[in-house]
Amino acid sequence: MLEKIRQTVENKKVLVLGLGREGRSSLRMIRKAGGYKELAVADQNPVEVKESGEEKIPVISGTHYMDKELLDSYDIVFKTPGIVLPEKIENYKCQFVSQTGLFISKFRSQIVGITGTKGKSTTSTLLYHVLKENGEDVVLAGNIGIPVFDIAEDITVGEVIVLELSCHQLEYITVSPHIAVLLNLYEEHLDHYGTMAAYVRAKQNIYAWQEKEDLLFCNMEFLPGHEVEGAGPESAGVPCKGEVISAVLIPEGENPSGRGDIEVAGNAVRYRGSGLRIPEQGISLIGQHNYFDIAMVYGICKEFSLTDEQFLKGLRSYQTLPHRLQYLGIKDGIRFYDDSISTIGETTIQALESIKNAGSILIGGMDRGVDYDQLEEYLAGSSVKHIILMEATGKRIYSEIEERYPTLFGSGKLCLVDHLKDAVELAGKLGEEGSACILSPAAASYGIFKNFEERGEVFKKYVFG
């Protein structure tokens, strides 16, 4: 990996843009690789860079840290994912590179890359766990919180690399992993991308650069060559050269009829002649959306020649990640679930579909302009007894329901509060013994909490003290 980095920066003026965890990881590896002409750091906030020997790294901070003139004064810019460039990338003279792009180009043949609006962390960690449990030499990295440069020097020949990939990590890459997984595509991150089309195009880089010998495991609703709802005709224009393995979730009561290479009907999974019943007891993943992710992992594991018994062994010992429809416990006879990871309406619907006898659902957070039509329509027909709305998106959903669904609005189900603490207190007062309370906000946490993890931890503290 060091050789790859050195080839990239050799005799070049190099800037590390953004000095969070990944930026510091990039800086460390660039310095270790050496060969650059100049090296500097740019970040919105004042940051401290440790000196190494006699080398002093200049730090550029403040409101002008991303000025085009500044960036174009460097040959190579290592951009941290999530940083929004002021202009289109083609308007810059400098070359933007990323950890993700360089890492995939180096280890492409060993990588299973997994992306999707929702479910990528569960799918990535489940695949890693099942392979690890069955003796496979495997490592997990990427958007899961482990910068790829942090593991790059320890990768061995033949080791499987499970790589969770966000849209930001995929946005500008020009290389795709040998095995790619696209779980789903929903409206998300429009504050960054502006349009659904731009967001979808970033995600499609998971397979856009694959070769003929590669594999793409893809949700049938989002296959290459098919227009993605809300993204326009251009979303159908990204082909895949690799072999496409389609996956479909069969609606209840319908016959699979060979629609996809992977089919999920209830708890039954079929993949190319192999069949499996997902245990309904003794596993931590519940709900049809999780069954779909399990089926994807099952298909991949079959490509690694695991038997059904080996797969089930790993599935049974896997523990759900925190804040992803996580069962917290019982208080005053009410079951509490933390689904703080939920930032879109579709995941809130999935939570209500998965948890039986839901007494209250807690919805709301930062308003990024996400469309809640589908969620509101679902709530209008839902059996959930109390819909507790909070923060900016809660207020918007409340007013939209008042306008569009007068029957629901007048039913007494809707409750509008200010913050999460108020929502938890109200849920405790309204809850009945044996019912469930679910935090599934369908909105981002930014501006209210540091991240969704903190929101989930605060929710747990409010419930249990």
Average per-residue pLDDT for the chain = 95
Q: What is the pLDDT of residue 321?
A: 80
Annotated binding site: 116-122
Annotated binding site for ATP: 116-122
Q: What is the pLDDT of residue 52?
A: 65
Q: What is the pLDDT of residue 320?
A: 85
Q: What is the pLDDT of residue 257?
A: 72
pTM: 0.86
Domain topology for 101-317: UDP-N-acetylmuramoyl-L-alanine:D-glutamate ligase (3.40.1190)
- The string of pLDDT tens digits covering residues 292-333 is 999 999 999 999 999 999 999 999 999 988 898 999 999 999
Task: Name the pairing type of β-strands 179-182 and 111-115.
Answer: parallel
Query: What contacts 188, CB < 8 A, 6 or more positions away?
Result: 117, 167, 199, 343, 344, 370
- The overall longest dimension of the chain from CA atoms, in Å, is 72
Q: What is the pLDDT of residue 6?
A: 97
Q: What is the pLDDT of residue 156?
A: 95
- The string of pLDDT tens digits covering residues 155-193 is 999 999 999 999 999 999 999 999 999 999 998 888 889
As a whole-number percent, the residues of the chain with pLDDT over 90 amount to 89
Q: What is the pLDDT of residue 256?
A: 74
- For the 326-464 domain, the top CATH level (class) is alpha beta
pLDDT in tens, the chain (465 residues): 999 999 999 999 999 999 999 999 999 999 999 999 999 999 999 988 876 666 889 999 999 999 999 999 999 999 999 899 999 999 999 999 999 999 999 999 999 999 999 999 999 999 999 999 999 999 999 998 889 999 999 999 999 999 999 999 999 999 999 999 999 999 888 888 989 999 999 999 999 999 999 999 999 999 999 999 999 999 999 999 999 999 999 988 887 778 899 999 999 999 998 999 999 899 999 999 999 999 999 999 999 999 999 999 999 999 988 898 999 999 999 999 999 999 999 999 999 999 988 999 999 999 988 899 999 999 999 999 999 999 999 999 999 999 999 999 999 999 999 999 999 999 999 999 999 999 999 999 999 999 999 999 999 999 998
Sketch the domain layout of the chain as residue ranges.
Answer: 10-97, 101-317, 326-464
Query: What contacts 82, CB < 8 A, 6 or more positions away?
Result: 18, 168, 192
In CATH terms, is domain 10-97 a member of 1.10.1040.10?
no
